[in-house]
Amino acid sequence: MTATLLIDCRPHDLGGGFIVGRVLPYRKRRMVGPFIFLDHMGPLEVARGAPRELDVRPHPHIGLSTVTYLYSGAVTHRDSLGSNQEIRPGEVNWMTAGSGITHSERLEYARAHGATMHGIQAWVALPREHEETAPEFHHHQGAAELPEFSEDGVSGRLIAGTIEGATARVKTHSPLFYLHWDMADGARRSLGTDHPERAVYVARGEIELDGYRLSEGQMLVLEPGRAARIQAHGPSTVMLLGGDPVGERFIHWNFVSSSRDRIEQAREDWRAQRMKLPVGDDREFIPLPEGAG
């Protein structure tokens, strides 16, 4: 048996009408390797002149790295380090929060030109020894930094980590992999056993995985130590991810930590406005949710 758990994404409103499909965390499976959060964004048609309510206003993070990966559209990232970077399809903006960072994600391109917003937002929990590391932000693009392949009807990009002899130039803090495959109808490819925890998510189309049929919005967590044979039924976009487990984590709002006390401290820091807001985007912020605790 190849699979251990099937997860269906659940609708979640980010505010302003931007509905995402939340995959991780799930009540029966909090993490896959170090991946502790996965949201499927869109596809959402954003018209020119769309309201700013669709933006993700400034908010904080600790204890994790974030990556917003787009299939279409664009997002403008600003953070408290002074980074100001537009995220475009196929590029990687890897932000390590560590001891604390704030950032915003604005749909400035879509408001100016109109766009179809479609992508994945993922969080990666940091190992305990790196939870309080200094925050960092790095932008990556192109095959020299993000290894690509195309063969037998499958084109792929390694977003982060190492798998099957390829390594992305994204600075990570624990063994992991994060892959994007586009599969033509009928194409086949196997996912090996390089990492102890692995999962496959269908962002578009339908696939068959060792007898399991998966459609858009479904994740299959795989049994350790067994290769998975994947076949596309129609053009499909597949995300593959996993790595070494990093141990139990608590998650509260935008905070991830191995310590409940550290999360409480982060809550109080944000409530008291002790965290610096993004440079160039410091006129508003998302308040700590009511009743959070």
pLDDT in tens, 56-92: 999 999 999 999 999 999 999 999 999 999 999 999 9
229-251 pLDDT tens trace: 999 999 999 999 999 999 999 99
- Neighbouring-strand partners of residue 105: 56, 77
> Which of 13-27, 123-137, 152-166, 252-266 is least confident?
13-27
In whole numbers, what is the pLDDT of the chain averaged over residues? 95
* Structural tokens at position 81: 């380090």
pLDDT digits (tens, 9 = 90+) for 203-216: 999 999 988 999 99
**pLDDT score for 103:** 98
pLDDT at 16 over 80: no
Dihedral angle at the C-alpha atoms of 126, 92, 287, 258, nearest 10 degrees? -10
pLDDT at residue 292 above 50? no
**pLDDT, mean of residues 9-37:** 88
pLDDT in tens, 146-180: 999 999 999 999 999 999 999 999 999 999 999 99
- pLDDT band, very low/low/confident/very high, at 272 (cuts 50, 70, 90): very high
91 CB-near residues (< 8 Å, 6+ apart): 70, 139, 140, 141
Across residues 109-118, what is the average pLDDT? Answer: 95
Confidence of residue 116 (pLDDT cuts 50, 70, 90): very high
Rounded CA gap, 83 and 162, in Å?
A: 26
pTM, full prediction: 0.95
